[in-house]
Amino acid sequence: MPNYAGALRGKLKITATLKLLTGLHIGASNDFSSIGAVDSVVVRDPLTRYPIIPGSSLKGKFRSLLARNIKGGPFYDIKDEPIELKRLFGGETKTSKDNAEKRQLISSRLQFFDIFLNKNSAKRLEKANTDLYLTEIKFENTISRLTGEANPRQLERVPARAEFDFFLVYNIEEPDEVEEDFEFLATGFKLLQLDYLGRGGTRGNGRVALYNFKVEQVGVSEGISIDVDRLAKKLEETKDYALLHV
């Protein structure tokens, strides 16, 4: 299957502060606990042991929220996925040539990254009396409605008020589509702040706020004019959608 990516005309680097409004749990893939240990641990950087938010979690959340917002639900035929979504996150489309229909992959214009706990937050948490290194333990208990049996468990969380350095790169392929793409991206930031990240969002976990947006152009081709201040302002306006303020 052929791959389609427009000519790369430059990149826009998007940075912001992601602040936890409630405790966050994004689990490691090897979630396993011995007797007496925490039932579900957070994913960490193996060198610093700082908690991280994986880029895959961010991309998946953004895409699913935007898809549901456009189509009214996640269960739609993939062939009907709007082109705005495919441009930002990748996908495939069908083209016709010489009476033959071909499928073509579309490369993602957005590049997500693992984001890290910033150093100031790490210092504050190191001074705090947290249950584990830079994290807290939340005790939960689920009760079966059928049997009445209790299932107590321990969930490791990054505490509320911790801040992460958010980082995202946008590939400029069609300068005339940058404004529209950023409108779409801004909608994603609004939806994220109205929703949650990680596990247990309906129980209060994973509420976030984003602010201090900055957009910087990197290697933009000659003759292309991008108003990065206007784009940053568009994203900064989304901070008002945070449900909580701490």
Name the residue ranges covered by the structural domains of the chain: 3-241
Pairing of strands 10-20, 3-4: unpaired
CA distance 192 to 242: 9
Is the separation of the CB atoms in 173 and 8 below 8 Å? Answer: yes
* Per-residue pLDDT tens over the stretch 76-122: 566 677 888 999 998 877 665 655 567 778 889 999 999 999 999 99
The answer to pTM > 0.75 is yes
Which residues have a Cβ under 8 Å from the Cβ of 180 and sit 6 or more positions away?
Answer: 84
pLDDT band at 40 (very low <50, low <70, confident <90, very high): confident
Expressed in percent and rounded to 5, the helix, strand and coil fractions of the chain are: 30, 35, 35
pLDDT value at position 74? 54
For the cut 50, the answer to whether the pLDDT of residue 239 exceeds it is: yes
What DSSP string runs through 177-227?
GHHHHHHHHHHHHHHHHHS--SS-GGGT---EEEEEEEEEEESPPTT----
Mean pLDDT computed over every residue of the chain: 85
Tokens of 28: 């490691």
For residues 166-194, give the mean pLDDT. 95
Using a pLDDT cut of 70, give the percent of the chain over it: 85
The confidence score (pLDDT) of residue 154 equals 83
3-state secondary structure at position 78: helix
pLDDT at residue 167 in the model: 96
Q: How far is CA 19 from CA 186, 199, 221, 243, in A?
A: 17, 17, 34, 12
